[in-house]
Amino acid sequence: MKKTATKLADGREILYFDADDTALRDTTDPRPLEPTTALSEIRRDPATGDWVTIAAHRQGRTYHPPADQCPLCPSRDGWATEIPADAYEVAVFENRFPSLAFDAAAHVGRSDAPLRTSAPAAGRCEVVCFTSDHTASFADLTPAQARLVLDAWTDRTADLATRPGIQQVYCFENRGAEIGVTLAHPHGQIYALPFVTPRTERMITAAADHRARTGGNLFEDLLAAERADGARVVLAGEHWTAFVPFAARWPYEVHLYPHRRVADLTHLDEAERAEFPTLYLELLRRFDRLFGGGPTPYISAWHQAPAASGHELALHLELFTVRRTADKLKYLAGVESGMDAFVNDVAPETAAERLREVATTHG
């Protein structure tokens, strides 16, 4: 893999990842862009302890542009996009409308008042373009292309985790208008966060409680139990297993774990990296076959251990859709939105069976 770093017209960084080590990506952004100013801040909810990001400037971000004006396609004569090159394999660039930005510290103050605790949202938001093909999806990639995306995620995790003040790196993809995606081009995002997310905090607490009760690691024991039971296993390889969790929150939700517990993407070995693309692509294609073959909206989220040590969180990927039938979505009701207490209309065992039924090459 070759990584080429350059700058966009307003000073934001763009990185090209190529499978060919001889690829040349010496491109210049011709757009007359002014540098952006980040005014984001994070505020701590005194009732829960959770950090909330306030990023009012994002109201002006690009919203459902026509396909011929997509800002994530390669640039062409008469249309300069966020990606100056006329072709690319995988491109990663700083978001033009970020929720988090390192220069926020220069513009936003800090408060340590007990009920009014706030700080600059000093972090980084990156956009990951999986392919230059506007009409494709991640599921359309070849295993080699998916491996290049994995390598890009890994590179960015390694880089961002070492930046001052960064506590967690979160790689994810939102796919589909039903999820709220505003750009149709196949892409994901990476957030380098100045705090540990609430869900991760709960996982760390649960892992500590499990260790105190049993002496074992929660995630190792959870994976071993699912593999032994088998009722919710969707597919398995030599190094990874995908299963519907016992207490799934979403109608179709799959967790993908490496068999060897590691903290984050940077610790995967070559055998694990080599097997991941085929299994992950098969999962995405099964999701697309669930409801008649059309594109299924989903969120795909990498859970990685925070930068701070002293916890036992294990790397894993969580994939879920908001669709519960071909023509019905799973909306968050009052008990879910208001109290974070989920009600699932599809039994996890039924979801796993359905995902096995739509298999192609894997059992």
Closest to 105 in 3D by CA, of 28, 21, 166, 64 = 166
Q: Which pair of tokens denotes residue 308?
A: 């701070």
What would the DSSP string read from start to end of 143-198? HHHHHHHHHHHHHHHHHHTTSTT--EEEEEEEESGGGT-S--SSEEEEEEESS--H
What would the DSSP string read from start to end of 223-260? HHHHHHH-TTEEEE-SSEEEE--TT-SSSEEEEEEESS
CA atoms within 13 A on the CB side of 186: 18
* DSSP summary character for residue 320: E
The helix (H) or strand (E) run that includes residue 210 is helix 198-214
How many residues in total does the chain contain? 363
Q: Are 80 and 9 in contact (CB under 8 A)?
A: no
Distances (CA, A) of 358 to 14, 25, 68, 282: 38, 40, 34, 10
Is residue 64 annotated as part of the catalytic site, yes or no?
Answer: no
Tell me whether strands 124-129 and 187-193 are parallel, antiparallel or unpaired.
Answer: antiparallel
Closest to 84 in 3D by CA, of 26, 17, 145 = 26
* DSSP summary character for residue 316: E
**Which of 187, 239, 255, 316 is flagged as catalytic?**
187
Residues with catalytic function: 187
